[in-house]
Structure 1
């Protein structure tokens, strides 16, 4: 019988805006998080997947992160599990990994709107999970309600403030009832990946270590610091069928090891090509450096003087020689921020606050704020490219009379020991929530509503922070595209002037591959790799 449920203690709109627990361990996808999912004890090889994929060959790839979280899509937030889940799971709607355009995945068609606050989705006929069980409406209801249950502390729940009830109409149809009209419903539900209820309830820990989805590839094994092995899901009947019999992802955190693996033909593709090696790698392989939303931000602790003064925050942005940081530290592989969004984003518009390098203006703003002889300890993560630009930040700030001490450490430790307890002045760190979605509402809420605004930079406690939240709320319910973009633009302008947390630059992501051994491959504008349209040559 089809099941009907309401999300346990379902979030209404205002509850959502106060939500911070779901992000308790998140560090803006600066790479991976500290908690580790248990390694699989399963054995197997992707080439032994059997079925119709037996003659297709295997895709060997070099990934830049180790396995530091589990795979359950309700909680997975590490860069590597998120990339793996692109291949293992499906949403009702998914976003093309390259274009970021929505398409019907487990849904037979895009969601159908019944009225302002009711939507229905019909499932793709014949869809099965990797354990051969059919995908049903009850699985869909379960997948949504477990995420929305506050007891599960899901990272994804913050993206669904509009959702009031999910119920199965019949075995193949699901109805969504909203607390308020939400114009982006069709693409936003892509954040929820559909899981088999029976498998999760039987052994959630095992599911987290070796997940079962309905995607084109099933996971055979996952070994921390070594590799992840996939095989083709031969019963898959959706829009993105596997074009390989399997995949072997080698986990090569060392940059030189990734380059060596590609040069020696041990792998066909690597992500995160070291900028210093990019020109040389491009001579021997196909390579591309793709503009992303991924950024380096400056975040200020508004609880600590003098950073509660907007003039001080602006001064430290004006005092950064961004062009030198990009040219020297990243060898040109970034673009200075001219907005919260990167210039290639479909909703980009130049922000009211754009900070070039103007040391005289920086000094003048500090003087206007009555600040002299400022000592700043800058907290940074130990991401390789962040460490490359860190001395250039110090050089810039020292040049405007701000004595700067660099505090570089492992990402999880920096957040736990300094940021989340408020024991910091300024932070510079990477982040890229665009792996979850590309719409402005999602990207802005990540940093300006919830954990970051309530607990980290504390902007939500200011009149401007509350105004930004009001603008985002209004945009979320606005059905007119032009009016919605205008509201987003106002929110971006406010953030660009107040700069509680704001981009310094948007990074380019360098990927290299052997195009003679791998066809159909396209590099991503987000962290990770996708092989949904790729095949061994």
Structure 2
């Protein structure tokens, strides 16, 4: 019958439309991309030429190292296995079967080239290879890294910091510091490059990577210049995650008014950055331990936590190392504490003559707020200071030229506590051509401290390492080369409007491997 024919044709059309709709829904569900916000500009994707926070984040997803940290433990990244040979001062690593984004396999030749290239071209990562003497190929999947001295701390540096680059690309680059690497950057990371615009970096997940999620297609890094605009984008659902620490006041507002921000979630992670006051030990009275201790005891740390960080910070340890460095943190040293009467007594014993000193500080609002409180605390015990407020470039210039009396600064020691060596050892504070050669901007030069710092590099077992760090922290409390202030809590913000399945790791935060594998588009 004619009606049956029309019915059959109509039903066929309906079935076709239904299947097409299913396909479209499947594409929507299973072809999704994360939208994240990063601060700063992206002018280079050269791993040796990173300047902005945005560049650092993108490059960190493009390239990989031999080893990495997960849940506070050293684990393989491009390397599947490693052995330390203390007798030969070397580290032998067996490579996984992994590919670069162009489809070529990561080989021992690429690893050897990556390490030796940094030394040959005198690239900025060179200081990390201070004890490194060379890399050798054993076979196609095995390499040997050789050092002048070998200890357990070496695992936290060279193999975890040096990006492995494809030899076939970089051997043609004669001047790497003039190479922006923005046309077709090739790494082996979980994300591979698609395109760069003035507003974003578009990446897609590299499906040959073991950590690449199956349910996500890619990630778009939206470049924003202002934290407020980034947060508004998160609230609207334009962004799924912010790649910076949220302002503590804003975080408290969100946590106290969840109905106002129904899709925004806040994760609080134990911080690893220690705010400190640097002293310029090259000058008087900063070279006097009594003066440094007077400054330490003059400050109201609890008030700084509440007033500057809205309670979302911890008072730092006298031993400088933060709790996040759990393996070496010595709880017995105790926190810094205010004692005004002791501060005044110590000041009398010092060589401070009452002259006004400068406190170098960043133009960042948090830093300026903290500096104003510190200025008042010091005035209360008889120390006169004036603030020298500088933008990022001006601050760096003055630090490198040692052009300050006191300075507000911060050390990132949570994941790599061994970095304290580079901040405080006298060899890192020497002046050459009018500039500090390392990161010891204050020119700390205390012989017993040098010995204690050297000891953490001479630890040949985990037990020796823990004991060396314990001795170091106790000594830091005595000689006070810097004043440890606060350890701000890491505050991460993400949205559940577009995706569910976020996993908060106490050590890695929100944007971790488990999150990427668990995320699903919200239906």
When the two structures are superposed, what TM-score results if normalisation uses the length of structure 1?
Answer: 0.80
- Native 8 Å contact 2:284 2:352 kept in 1: no
The alignment yields a C-alpha RMSD, in angstroms, of 2.9
> Which has the larger Rg?
2
Does the C-alpha gap of structure 1 residues 491 and 223 become closer, same or farther in structure 2, counting only changes over 3 Å?
farther
For residue 202 of structure 1, what is the aligned residue in structure 2? 172
Does the C-alpha gap of structure 1 residues 506 and 492 become closer, same or farther in structure 2, counting only changes over 3 Å?
same
Does the C-alpha gap of structure 1 residues 505 and 196 become closer, same or farther in structure 2, counting only changes over 3 Å?
same
For residue 104 of structure 1, what is the aligned residue in structure 2? 76
For residue 162 of structure 1, what is the aligned residue in structure 2? 131
Structure 1, residues 407-465: CA drift from partner, whole Å, max 9, x if none? Answer: 2211221221x22223211101234265xxx2432343344365457637566673x2x
- What are structure 2's unaligned runs of at least 5 residues? 1-26
Q: 2:401 aligned with 1:421, yes or no?
A: yes
- Native 8 Å contact 1:295 1:504 kept in 2: yes
Superposition deviation, residue 263 in structure 1: 0.9
Q: Give the alignment partner of residue 330 of structure 2, picking from 310, 330, 349.
A: 349
For residue 379 of structure 1, what is the aligned residue in structure 2? 360
Alignment of 1:255-274 (within 5 A): 255-270=227-242, 271-274=244-247
Alignment of 1:15-414 (within 5 A): 55-63=30-38, 65-67=39-41, 70-76=44-50, 78-96=52-70, 99-111=71-83, 113=85, 115-125=87-97, 127-149=98-120, 151-154=121-124, 156-188=125-157, 189-203=159-173, 204=176, 205-206=178-179, 208-209=181-182, 211-223=185-197, 226-236=199-209, 238-239=210-211, 244-270=216-242, 271-282=244-255, 283=258, 284=261, 285-338=264-317, 339-346=319-326, 347-350=328-331, 352=333, 354-414=335-395
Deviates more, 1:475-484 or 1:167-176: 475-484
Superposition deviation, residue 93 in structure 1: 1.1
CA distance in 2: counterparts of 1:243 and 1:113, whole angstroms: 42
Q: Secondary structure at the match of 1:184?
A: helix
Structure 1, residues 92-141: CA drift from partner, whole Å, max 9, x if none? Answer: 11223xx232221111323464855233222112x211122221111100
Q: Give the alignment partner of residue 522 of structure 1, picking from 494, 498, 504.
A: 504
For residue 491 of structure 2, what is the aligned residue in structure 1? 510
CA distance in 2: counterparts of 1:430 and 1:222, whole angstroms: 32
- Native 8 Å contact 2:267 2:504 kept in 1: no
- What are structure 1's unaligned runs of at least 5 residues? 1-51
CA distance in 2: counterparts of 1:453 and 1:229, whole angstroms: 43
Does the C-alpha gap of structure 1 residues 383 and 291 become closer, same or farther in structure 2, counting only changes over 3 Å?
farther
Superposition deviation, residue 166 in structure 1: 0.8
Q: 2:442 aligned with 1:442, yes or no?
A: no
